[in-house]
Structures are given as structure tokens and as C-alpha cells.
Amino acid sequence: MSTNDPTGRQAERRTDGPVGRPADRRSAPAADRPTDSPPATGRGGRTSAAGSALEKSLRILEAVAAPGGPHRLADVTAAAAVPKSSTFRILASLVEQGFVRQDSESRYGAGPRLRGLSALVTGGEPASIGRILGELQQTTGQTVHLALHSGETITYIQKLESDQPFRTASRVGMRMPLHTTAIGKSILAHLPEAEVRELIAAAGLPARTPRTVTGARELGAQLAEVRARGFALDDEENEPTIRCIGAAVLRPDGRPVGGVSVTTVTFLVSREEIEAYAPALRTATEALAPLL
């Protein structure tokens, strides 16, 4: 994120962090590799080749989001009535864009951006995600983000701007690293240690600022602090002049599905001031848990 402060200074804008990638085609089980076999008939006897590229993509999304997921490639192909080679190609693009998630067994489920769209559609409900985030923003007066965990990154699915005379450069759909962001660290703190080690091995701990934690031991100490106090701190570790606190949204089994952050700039809000928002932040994440 980058900001313009009232004095006219502009923090350097940085590029997005590591981007999750669809699994290599060679990693898919042999039964799930695309073939050139003739298309099977699908809905209402219509051949799987029927429909435009957009129609095929929408049918594939419907199949991926169907109950009982994540789904194997063959099942998505049959449900969407799209040739396996086309299904594989469309799924790879949807995974790259964050609308579909591919697990370690090459099965496909709803990704963070698809889940985010679902949250936006239900935004008018009394106990909605939008209402909960709006109350947090009104309480703090600061920028509020909601992000979902997506492999080695988080993906922002909602953002409410600060009341202050500045705007952050974050946007819905942006993916950011786990180890440099408050939301990301709050998620890591609630994952099994073995899984955290796997994520670090896959993505590394690259520095985004001079304050970024780049050592596994130091990061582990921070994650222990997160578990003890109930929130994580990003103190200019992801971008200069930006300070955030974040807390994880947990499923009933204790696994993090995403997190919420309160974002400020260092020249307007001190560390002590932003940490005072922690109770309101935790209230919001607890209210969001049944909705995510």
C-alpha cells in the first residue's frame, strides 16, 4: 500500500507480493490430465462443446462451487459439460485469478475471490459482513480490510477507506505475502507448525522493507506473541509509513479462513493508538466467523 500524507510526501508504491500459482500440469494425477477424448453429452443432452467461452467458464464455476467440494477435474468436466482439455485450461486461469482454489490432491474448490463475491452479494443482510466491517471502520475511523487465506498469500476481498485525508493503494483482489502483513501473520499464528514451515519453504521470507522479518526463528517468536495477545502487528514491514494490526477469522475447528486489519499511517497514528483498536478488531473477527 502507498499513501499521500497531508504534507505532500508520497510513500513508494510496491508491487504485489508472491502470487499463488496453479499447480503444474505435470503434477496432476494421470486420471485428471486433459485428454482429447470426444466431449460427453451434458445438461439436457447438449454436447459439452456447446456454449461460448464465457458460458463454459460460468458452468465450470458452478460445478466447482457445488456442494461436496473440492471436486476432481473429471467431476467438474462432467458437471459443466465442457471438454476436459478446455476445463483444465479454464480452471488454470481461474486458479491464477483467485476465483478457484486447487489443493494438494489436484481437486478444485471455491477460491477467495469467488467467496468474496458471495460475501458482497449478501452485504445487505442484518448480520452481514459489510455491516460488521462498517461498524469497525466507524469505531476506529481507519481503513479496514478483510482478506481470505489463499495458499502462500492473502487476498483482499473488502476494503473500507479511512476518515483521514489519505487513501491507501490496496484494492480488492490484491494478493499480499503472509509474513509481511498483519492479517497474514495472524493467519500463520493459527496454522500447524508443520504447515507454516511448508509455506515458508515454498514462498521464502523475502524483504519488502528494511523492517520485514526475514528469519524463521524471529517470525516464530512473533507468531507466539500473536497467539498470546490475540492480534498481529505490521509495523512498516510490508510498506514504509504503513502500520496495521490484524486478527484472524477462525472456523469452529480453530483453523483460520482469513482475517481483518485496521490500517493507519505512522505519521498520524502511533503504535500505542493503533493497538488500542484491538478489542474492536477482535469483536469484528468473532462476529465474522459464522459468515465465512
Residue of 257, 255, 260, 253 whose CA lies nearest to 279: 260
Question: Which residue reads 467440494 in cell numbers?
Answer: 69
How far, CA to CA in Å, does 143 sit from each of 133, 163, 166, 198, 222?
A: 10, 8, 10, 32, 23
- How far separated are the first and last CA of the chain, in Å rounded? 25
Note whether 127 and 291 are within 8 A (CB).
yes
What's residue 74's pLDDT?
A: 93
DSSP state of 25: G
Compute the distance between CA of residue 180 and CA of residue 218 in angstroms, rounded to an integer.
12
In this prediction, the residues of the chain whose per-residue pLDDT falls under 50 are: 1-50
Compute the distance between CA of residue 17 and CA of residue 199 in angstroms, rounded to an integer.
14
Compute the distance between CA of residue 77 and CA of residue 168 in angstroms, rounded to an integer.
41
Compute the distance between CA of residue 187 and CA of residue 181 in angstroms, rounded to an integer.
10
187 residue type, one letter: I
Per-residue cell: 200:
515458508
Element (H, E) at 59: helix 53-65
Helices 129-140 and 278-288: crossing angle in degrees, nearest 10, is 180
Compute the distance between CA of residue 266 and CA of residue 63 in angstroms, rounded to an integer.
46
What's residue 139's pLDDT?
A: 96
What's residue 125's pLDDT?
A: 53
What's residue 86's pLDDT?
A: 92
Compute the distance between CA of residue 92 and CA of residue 169 in angstroms, rounded to an integer.
28
Rounded to 5 degrees, φ, ψ at 120 are: -65, -35
What's residue 282's pLDDT?
A: 96
